[in-house]
Structure 1
């Protein structure tokens, strides 16, 4: 009985630590801007997908959820905060749909497994990333008006960077999946 209790406590501690570290990794990925054409690239979407693949859907979603909660509560975790605001005001701005899409993307990425071929992994990652952009564009259009070139403003500048990140992630997914066994 005592051994089972200790194993359970150890698993909870490992899970909480993974959630916190995942949120920290997501914050760091939001702050580092890599020069890329046509706009600078952050590694946020890469980390969101990585969290889903490496931690599974429960811990991956909890990590992304903690990150979003930290941002809503006013911690400057988002990409352009505090420069462009913090808290709920920033969260409900033009990027809210993309931020919510992080949850769906992490969940979908968690469905990748060792049996998937490279093309299946790549397809699943493209679908997962697409949910970020679908939700982002839906919110952006609602916020600024559908008469604006929503796709040109909210997706087109980022597509080349997303392709790079998704292909890179697909290439290393089999190694990343090994992390799950430690959690």
Structure 2
């Protein structure tokens, strides 16, 4: 696939674009992105067969809006905050947090978060976030990049004789499809609003 990586991502369309103010803006975006990820991880929407958590939606949309480089800085910052023991992940609690939580069943999915941010940021740089069908394709790829290391880690941790797919994949597919549809509409809509604001 030949990608032309010369498009701006959403975080770049707002001033300032150069100098110290650009660095300040990027630092603010990283901090704001970490807070966004932490809050989204705690949101649970009632759904069958399991509640929908908004963590993956936040990771994928942040990756697309920030681009690969700034998105990577943000997701790694989020991981560091979590590793230090702050309760920023979906299932962490006072009983299990920090590295002990990250090395548990969710560890592979956290690795997938990093891969997905890089992929979504790269595809946004190629302009995929400006088209609903392409954004949907990017979200499918991003979800796959989260699930593959997540399922591999579960199998290594608990054994391949366990119902790994029933634990870590199939209950979440319906909710992921809804989040995919939301993101596929949201990012192109934001680009249309930016174009309209610029006249």
TM-score by structure 2 length? 0.82
**Taking structure 1 as reference, are residues 67 and 179 closer, same or farther at Cα in structure 2, changes over 3 Å only?**
farther
Gaps of 5+ in 1: 1-5
Partner SS state of residue 141, structure 1: helix
Q: Does the Cα contact within 8 Å between 1:121 and 1:170 map onto a contact in 2?
A: yes
Q: Distance in 1 between matches of 2:92 and 2:156?
A: 22
Q: Distance in 1 between matches of 2:129 and 2:51?
A: 34
Partner SS state of residue 45, structure 2: coil
For residues 157-176 of structure 1, what are the structure 2 equivalents within 5 Å?
157-176=171-190
Q: Does the Cα contact within 8 Å between 2:129 and 2:188 map onto a contact in 1?
A: no
1:25 is the counterpart of 2:39: no
Q: Does the Cα contact within 8 Å between 1:38 and 1:157 map onto a contact in 2?
A: yes
**Taking structure 1 as reference, are residues 146 and 86 closer, same or farther at Cα in structure 2, changes over 3 Å only?**
same
Q: CA deviation at 1:179?
A: 9.6
1:136 is the counterpart of 2:147: no
Give 1:104's match in structure 2, choosing from 95, 112, 115: 115
**Taking structure 1 as reference, are residues 119 and 178 closer, same or farther at Cα in structure 2, changes over 3 Å only?**
closer
Q: Does the Cα contact within 8 Å between 2:130 and 2:191 map onto a contact in 1?
A: no
Mean CA deviation greater in 118-127 or 158-167: 118-127
For 2:48, the equivalent position in structure 1 comes to 37
Q: Distance in 2 between matches of 1:55 and 1:176?
A: 13
Q: Distance in 2 between matches of 1:180 and 1:48?
A: 22
**Taking structure 1 as reference, are residues 95 and 151 closer, same or farther at Cα in structure 2, changes over 3 Å only?**
same
Q: Does the Cα contact within 8 Å between 1:53 and 1:177 map onto a contact in 2?
A: no
Q: Distance in 2 between matches of 1:65 and 1:45?
A: 15
How many residue pairs get aligned? The number is 176
TM-score by structure 1 length? 0.89
Give 2:59's match in structure 1, choosing from 44, 48, 54: 48
Q: CA deviation at 1:60?
A: 1.1
Q: CA deviation at 1:106?
A: 1.2
**Taking structure 1 as reference, are residues 140 and 85 closer, same or farther at Cα in structure 2, changes over 3 Å only?**
same
1:62 is the counterpart of 2:73: yes
Q: What is the RMSD computed on CA atoms of the aligned residues?
A: 2.1
**Taking structure 1 as reference, are residues 19 and 177 closer, same or farther at Cα in structure 2, changes over 3 Å only?**
farther
